[in-house]
Chains A and B, each alone.
Chain A
């Protein structure tokens, strides 16, 4: 009964989305206030019904209703409650429902915080989001129904993939989707601006906070995922250039370009068309990412063959969104105009370079991700593009962008004197170069990559510090705008991130060895003693738990208990690594397999500065939040509330 209720709610939501996707546009074109208003109430109604559907499916998971096919495929009665609820987004159908729910959430957010926008503009935004929602709800109802019944019902479910039974599963997908779907707001703002022909500095100021919120969510979501892979996959990698990861990284790169481009549009009324194009691309890549990950196309392009409706629908939907948006762009772009002029040596041109580089980086990731799929789809053989490609390409592409980061914060709008600027920063460059060259020698190993990574990180920190000092000479700390401080914080986050990546890559020690109980081994100054393995049991798994004592200078610093679990329902083994995390290093131990009598294969890793990678991401996100709290947004809101 409850699943049917959810299904019915989805149908009603689709009907409301149809109204939301049609009437506000007509209302805006003809100037009928009531039709424009209609969009707002309908959007809120749609949110209610999508929520009912979402809760219905959650309830089916909560109540172990294995007469629902999707629940039977992704859950099990022995699964702990938090994972049963998170199993909702453990497969394709539920992920699509999560997407639609989050879209409804963002839409309600827009209806609540858009009172200051002109009515026509607001109506077109709501309408555009309605159109996207129609696409998703239609897709769910026609080709990917999570409420489909299984008759006769299964006695028990086939369980959630043990890899996904982790706190990361509870947070990572919703946060990531908040980011993906959040770009739909920037997209809707862009479409509304193209339709209305109003694309100016005010437009950019309205769009910026929404884009920043989405970007913050995406940043945090990707960082969560990376951290999760680090401890869950059991071999200590934090980024694999896997197609699934790339799918989330491409919108991030373009989204990062978008926030910078929006800054130029707001301050200087320039880059307008470019900004709109980036907004379209960021959302298109989010869509592509969602479908790449959740459609099964990555497992095999032939996965579509089992359900051709799904594949066809996705291709048509992507084609309509991207093609429609670009057609509108081509028709309306000439009316928008190019905006403010600027010199070649200016902050604008540096931000343009940053944009081009970020987009090029996204393009190179896309090439490596999609090309193998294309070849396979055309039946031209199977190839794979591994991490070496991305590593080789990414560093040289991003290096100039990171160097510009330090320079651009000093550059003036319109025109700046580059040679004079270079002279002002010679100390920053000298100090960071000298440190980057010498520090690796102190640390015991010098490679060009370590030196380059440290140079870039130090350069960003040094220039940010000098910039802050120069500002503080003119004004007090409290009078600095939060947008400026947020920018500095986010840039600092990039430096912390680079430091983490450089030092992990440069100085990590990885040992795979076989140990008997009582064996000790010394790695990087730490003594690891393997005490043996004992059996233990969890709610839905059995495990062998090892004990490894770690000491340094005869002082015990940690006892780690890595586990090898066997999840009984799927008969699937899983490695659970044990990590002693620290500010300067992680000690990482995981169990391999039993080899011979009593002996086990063990992975023992020392990962210097590993947590700096995620700390850097968190700083970037915090910087975004700080910028969001800037006074000019609050002032705008207050003004809107004062005039009812």
Chain B
């Protein structure tokens, strides 16, 4: 009997451990999900204030401004219909460029400015971050990117 009790207790303990682990994982999962909003959704007040989320779109031409020592920047993310001003402090990624796709993660302030703590613009020149593409698509302006075109040096014909 004793051995059986012991075994039973061990199994119960193992089950409890698994349950705790699962709760922990799911909890961490839920609280670390980062949602995505487009400038239009932000303009329509669908985005939450004070929680982390991502926005995507194009960096508006001529909107990039540097202040102070040059590390504090502000720019405007647009889906060609609505615009969201973004403030960021730090070094922008290599592929950050006006007129190109961008994704920023951060919080929306009550002043309507999106305070980003992360700015992403990755991979290559032809690639558009999926979130940025999504924002443009929802705004109905995305020109389908063609898959197999080749970039040729200027002046050369295929």
Q: Is A523 an interface residue (CB 8 A)?
A: no
Stretch at the interface among A200-208, A593-601, A606-614: A593-601
Contact A514 B151, CB 8 Å, known A385-B33, A389-B32: no
Question: Which listed residue, A300, A360, A569, touches B153 by the CB 8 Å rule?
Answer: A569
Q: Is B152 an interface residue (CB 8 A)?
A: yes
Name the prevailing secondary structure of the A interface residues: mixed
Q: Report the minimum CB–CB distance from B93 to chain A (whole Å).
A: 9
Q: Report the minimum CB–CB distance from A7 to chain B (whole Å).
A: 19
Q: Which residues does chain B contribute within 8 Å of A152, judged by CB atoms?
A: 158
Q: Is A381 an interface residue (CB 8 A)?
A: yes
Contact A595 B153, CB 8 Å, known A161-B124, A385-B32, A603-B91: no
Question: Which listed residue, B18, B105, B125, B147, touches A306 by the CB 8 Å rule?
Answer: B147
Q: Which residues does chain A contribute within 8 Å of B124, judged by CB atoms?
A: 161, 163, 570, 572
B66 and A155 contact, CB distance less than 8 A: no
Contact A512 B152, CB 8 Å, known A344-B7, A382-B36: no
Expressed in whole angstroms, the Cα–Cα distance for A497 and B157 within the complex equals 53
A601 and B91 contact, CB distance less than 8 A: yes
Q: Is B10 an interface residue (CB 8 A)?
A: yes
B89-102 CB mask vs A (1 if < 8 Å, else 0) is: 01110110000000
Of all chain A residues, which has the CB nearest B90? Answer: A512
Q: Is A575 an interface residue (CB 8 A)?
A: yes
Q: Which 9 residue pairs spanning A and B have beta carbons closest together?
A: A595-B70, A592-B91, A389-B32, A382-B36, A392-B28, A573-B94, A514-B70, A158-B151, A514-B69
Expressed in whole angstroms, the Cα–Cα distance for A60 and B127 within the complex equals 26
Write the residues of chain A forming the contact surface with B, with a CB cutoff of 8 angstroms: 69, 72-73, 150, 152, 154-158, 161, 163, 234-235, 299-300, 306, 344, 360, 364, 367-368, 371, 381-386, 388-389, 392-393, 396-397, 512-514, 569-575, 592-593, 595-596, 599, 601, 603
Interface positions, chain B 109-126, Cβ under 8 Å from A, are 123-125
A-B contact pairs, 14 of them (CB 8 A): A73-B148, A163-B123, A367-B25, A382-B130, A382-B131, A383-B35, A386-B34, A389-B33, A392-B28, A514-B69, A592-B91, A596-B66, A596-B70, A599-B70
Q: Is B107 an interface residue (CB 8 A)?
A: no
Contact A300 B25, CB 8 Å, known A155-B158, A514-B71: no
Question: Which listed residue, B6, B18, B70, B156, touches A156 by the CB 8 Å rule?
Answer: B156
Q: Which residues does chain B contribute within 8 Å of A595, judged by CB atoms?
A: 66, 69-71
Expressed in whole angstroms, the Cα–Cα distance for A396 and B125 within the complex equals 40
Q: Report the minimum CB–CB distance from B128 to chain A (whole Å).
A: 9
Please tell me the number of chain B residues within 8 Å of chain A, measured between CB atoms: 42
Q: Which residues does chain B contribute within 8 Å of A158, judged by CB atoms?
A: 150-152
Expressed in whole angstroms, the Cα–Cα distance for A512 and B70 within the complex equals 11
Q: Which residues does chain B contribute within 8 Å of A573, judged by CB atoms?
A: 94-95
B14-34 CB mask vs A (1 if < 8 Å, else 0) is: 000010010011001100111
Expressed in whole angstroms, the Cα–Cα distance for A520 and B81 within the complex equals 45
B21 and A382 contact, CB distance less than 8 A: no
Q: Is B133 an interface residue (CB 8 A)?
A: yes
Question: Which listed residue, A73, A234, A299, A381, touches B127 by the CB 8 Å rule?
Answer: A299
Contact A234 B29, CB 8 Å, known A570-B125, A570-B151: no
Q: Which residues does chain B contribute within 8 Å of A371, judged by CB atoms?
A: 29
Expressed in whole angstroms, the Cα–Cα distance for A453 and B65 within the complex equals 42
* Known A367-B29, A392-B32; further 5 A-B contacts with Cβ < 8 A: A152-B158, A360-B18, A513-B69, A514-B70, A596-B66
A572 and B34 contact, CB distance less than 8 A: no
Interface positions, chain B 50-89, Cβ under 8 Å from A, are 54, 66, 69-71
Expressed in whole angstroms, the Cα–Cα distance for A384 and B156 within the complex equals 41
Contact A299 B130, CB 8 Å, known A385-B29, A388-B32: yes
Expressed in whole angstroms, the Cα–Cα distance for A629 and B151 within the complex equals 51
Expressed in whole angstroms, the Cα–Cα distance for A599 and B125 within the complex equals 26
Expressed in whole angstroms, the Cα–Cα distance for A552 and B10 within the complex equals 57
Of all chain A residues, which has the CB nearest B96? Answer: A593
Expressed in whole angstroms, the Cα–Cα distance for A573 and B93 within the complex equals 10
A368 and B10 contact, CB distance less than 8 A: no
